[in-house]
Structure 1
Amino acid sequence: MCFGDKLSEEQIKEIGAIQRRVLTASGRFNLLNFWPRVTKVLLRNRWDQLFQLRNDLENALIPLIRARKEAKNDDDSDSVLAYVDTLLDLELPEEKRKLDEKEIVTLASDFINSGTDTTSTALQWIMANLVRYPHIQERLFVEIKGVGIEEEIGEDDLQKMPYLKAVVLEGLRRHPPVHFVLPHCVTEDTVLGGYSIPKKGIVNFMVADMGWDPTVWEDPMAFKPERFMADDGGEVFDITGSREIKMMPFGVGRRSCPGLGLALLHLEYFVANLIWRFEWKAMDGDEVSLEEKMEFTTVMKTPLMAHISPMKG
């Protein structure tokens, strides 16, 4: 999706490794934003580490960007449109120029991290709950079987699985990958929730707490996909917040996550195929822990370990 070509396993591992370093080190370098002239003296080693990390990222991504640029110049009509293609075509009207390679590196890095770490984190939380609650896993399997799947579950098949969608929504409500959305800045003095917010004041929203609010959700800390099933007394839920906002793992409004649709597609696709192909059980004597740990996303403190076996029937 980012570079337009299927990369080799070696390339994928290289990009994954450097992107992981970028994610895990981001908090360490935040301090450098304050008084750069001072920190360049007092924290010289940390600045060197930042420059080295950036250099490694550019060395990994720039060859792929250049290869894509050459492919575009060759006018390959059979080639798919990739994210980098749109960046190569983008022009900055005020500056009357196109993006340079380093700017494209930054945007491509954001694209990869935003579209992978959050989704993989959400997937692990959902699978952990399916291991923890076998009756939910069984009901999901029965729904998939009822659709008449023969081999791999495709995108069209997912539209016939309302319980699958409920499982994914409940996973995002109970375990949103990020507990805060990206910070926003108000453009004028305003009042929000009874609080006066000055112009240019920074505002954030505790999306995890919204999804756990007992005044909105019955038994909020329980994992109950049925709450999103109209046939089970639940409700047809609008995650975009266009009608009302009860949870917002992707944010809401004009600046909600542009990857919302893709993330839901990936989560539904992977959960469905993993349940269709395998039976997931807890390891002997090992209860699945839902304790959290904060990294770039909110991950499982004890990563999921499960016994899987080919599904029969």
Structure 2
Amino acid sequence: MSLWPALSLDCLDNDYSSLIPTLSNKHLVAGASILFTYVFAKLWTTGHRERGLPPGPPTTPVLGNALQFPKRFPHVRFTEWANIYGPIVSVKILDRTVIILTNPEAVKIILDGQGSLTGNRLPSHIVQRATGGLIMALENMDTQIWKHNRKAIRAFLTPVQLEGYLPKQRLEYAICAHIKRTTGSVMATLVYGKRWLQLSDGETYFEGINLLFDVMDPGAHPPIELFWPLKYVPYVERLGWAKWKPLCDYTKTLRDSLYDKLLEECEERLKSGVGVGCYIETVLNNQARLGMTRDEIRGLAAVLMDGGVETSASYLQTFIIALLQSPESQLRAQEEIDSVVGGDRIPVLDDFKCLPYVKALVMEVFRFRPIFPVGLPHVTTEDIAYQGYHIPKDSFIFMNIWGMYHHPDYFDEPEIFKPERYLNNQHGTKEGVNTTGFRDNLPFGAGRRICPGEGMAMRTIMHNTMNLLWAFNFVKDKSGTGNWDMDSYGHGSELAPLPFTCTITPRDEKRANLIKQVFEYNAKSL
């Protein structure tokens, strides 16, 4: 007979079995106490600002600053916090740390200087659902999408390539039907070899990019990455649940259909031997060498279009608002351009370097109403130390461009539109300011995430601002639109003006006739 049954019986016979439930109860009580203590401590510390973090608004247990985080125009709240707590602010959203930089020097050291540690993006289930994970700007640096796209874009935007694009750009700039038509047709021609002869040709594109900006709006949707069960909340229209799901699905369907069609047209031209030499045709011809899939090529084209069309159009619309709001700036810029260009020819790119006030006007528009006032958040891949502060791994870092450009420590009367400040020094700052970290392309981002299309965008802006000033007068009309206030701007991730009207007239008959001649000449090449 086995020894174990005998032992068991002996134990029972001696009434030791009563010890078993007693010990189990004690263990259960102790375990429950430990579990309760752990859960309580975890909940109590969640949302709490750890020692070593930069200062910030008071937190509440568990939620941290979640209820205070702005849903619209985050740059306004971020700047308020910077004015109270300093140029480096920390915010807690549950157990995640958010760092807000309102200091150009901190941007230079943390984002520019440590780009390999601060170049990742916030993982977003919502954005992934809307894009299929094919948008370079929203992917981490270790992904195939980011590496392949970066390599291909560098080939597209070299100085030599940019010079080669000028003839096609001039052709589009001569057709002044609509700003969005112009910026859209430039990029569609260069990327796909397909011109937009009228604004309606780009209707699907503009609907798609505006939907994408809504998807990317940091305060408009639930924090799924911080509280994953929200991912499984069903869409219920009447209750307003999970409204982001149909938004993402419609955005993806619309944009995929547009970019699939454009890519197919390029492929068909190459098969028929009638290629036009556009960029995507070049990529398709070198697809094996680049190691890119068809979906990656489609995503690359979307990146180029997204970065070069809507943002440039939004800037130029804000530029026109500046002319409406500051007629004295418009007059001074026109006088300068007349002294250099005259009225017998249209400006060319080389004229811009001879127009210091026009450049100052361009830079002041960037300062006063930056297109991406807080940019897209960076994510740290390791702990970072800066000026005695501890920035933990996996922190989100926002670059508060608005706050920097509207800070009284850096600029005299920052809430006044004043291009003259850029005639005093390169960065428009007041006398004695430490300009470490300031740079002309600060509105285009930082580190390894700086916009790769900056050169193309600036050429578009320089060309069009000169043309608009040379050719037309802009005056406010009776509609009451075309204003600076935030109610005149959309509230997505991009600070884009809402539709507005104004009175636009040719400056004189000679210029009007020259515009017509240039238009008719270019129309023959359509």
Bucket of the pairwise TM-score, normalised by the shorter protein: 0.7 to 0.9
- Counterpart residue number, 2:355: 161
Write the letter of the residue equivalent to 2:211.
R
Matches for 1:52-91 after TM superposition, within 5 Å: 52-73=250-271, 79-83=276-280, 85-86=282-283, 89-90=286-287
| Distance in 1 separating the partners of 2:211 and 2:450 | 26
- Counterpart residue number, 1:176: 370
The offset of 1:279, in angstroms, is 1.0
- After superposition, the C-alpha distances for 1:116-151 in whole angstroms (9 at most, x for unaligned) are 222222222222121111111111101111113423
| Distance in 1 separating the partners of 2:466 and 2:427 | 20
Matched, 1:245 2:437: yes
Write the letter of the residue equivalent to 1:58.
D
- Contact 1:18 1:56 (8 Å CA) reproduced: yes
| Distance in 1 separating the partners of 2:225 and 2:294 | 23
| Distance in 2 separating the partners of 1:45 and 1:286 | 33
The offset of 1:47, in angstroms, is 3.7
Write the letter of the residue equivalent to 1:19.
I
- Contact 2:311 2:371 (8 Å CA) reproduced: yes
- Counterpart residue number, 1:123: 316
Write the letter of the residue equivalent to 2:283.
T
- After superposition, the C-alpha distances for 1:87-112 in whole angstroms (9 at most, x for unaligned) are 7735698xxx53223x3333322322
Write the letter of the residue equivalent to 1:4.
G
TM-score calculated relative to the size of structure 2: 0.51
Query: Between Structure 1 and Structure 2, whose CA radius of gyration is higher?
Result: 2
- Contact 2:209 2:310 (8 Å CA) reproduced: no
- Counterpart residue number, 1:139: 332
Matched, 1:114 2:315: no
- Counterpart residue number, 1:50: 248
- Contact 1:69 1:85 (8 Å CA) reproduced: no
Alignment equivalent of 1:267, drawn from 461, 469, 479: 461
| Distance in 2 separating the partners of 1:131 and 1:160 | 24
The offset of 1:83, in angstroms, is 4.8
- Contact 1:141 1:276 (8 Å CA) reproduced: yes
- Counterpart residue number, 1:104: 297
Secondary structure of the 2:210 match is: helix
Matched, 1:18 2:208: yes
Secondary structure of the 1:196 match is: strand
Write the letter of the residue equivalent to 1:297.
E
The 1:57/1:218 distance shift into structure 2, 3 A limit, reads same
Secondary structure of the 2:346 match is: coil
Write the letter of the residue equivalent to 1:298.
L
Alignment equivalent of 1:212, drawn from 398, 406, 420: 406
The 1:127/1:108 distance shift into structure 2, 3 A limit, reads same
The offset of 1:200, in angstroms, is 2.7
Aligned residues: 299
> Percent of pairs identical after alignment?
22
Greater shift, 16-25 or 133-142, is seen at 16-25
The offset of 1:113, in angstroms, is 2.1
The offset of 1:197, in angstroms, is 0.8
Write the letter of the residue equivalent to 1:213.
H
The offset of 1:17, in angstroms, is 2.9
Instruction: Mark the runs of 5 or more structure 1 residues left unpaired by the alignment.
Output: none
The 1:309/1:172 distance shift into structure 2, 3 A limit, reads same
Secondary structure of the 2:443 match is: coil
Write the letter of the residue equivalent to 2:493.
F
- The answer to which structure, 1 or 2, has the higher relative contact order (CA under 8 A, 6+ apart) is 2
Secondary structure of the 1:308 match is: strand
The offset of 1:69, in angstroms, is 2.6
* RMSD over aligned Cα atoms: 3.2
- After superposition, the C-alpha distances for 1:55-101 in whole angstroms (9 at most, x for unaligned) are 23222221211221333456668x334156437735698xxx53223
Secondary structure of the 2:322 match is: helix
Secondary structure of the 2:399 match is: coil
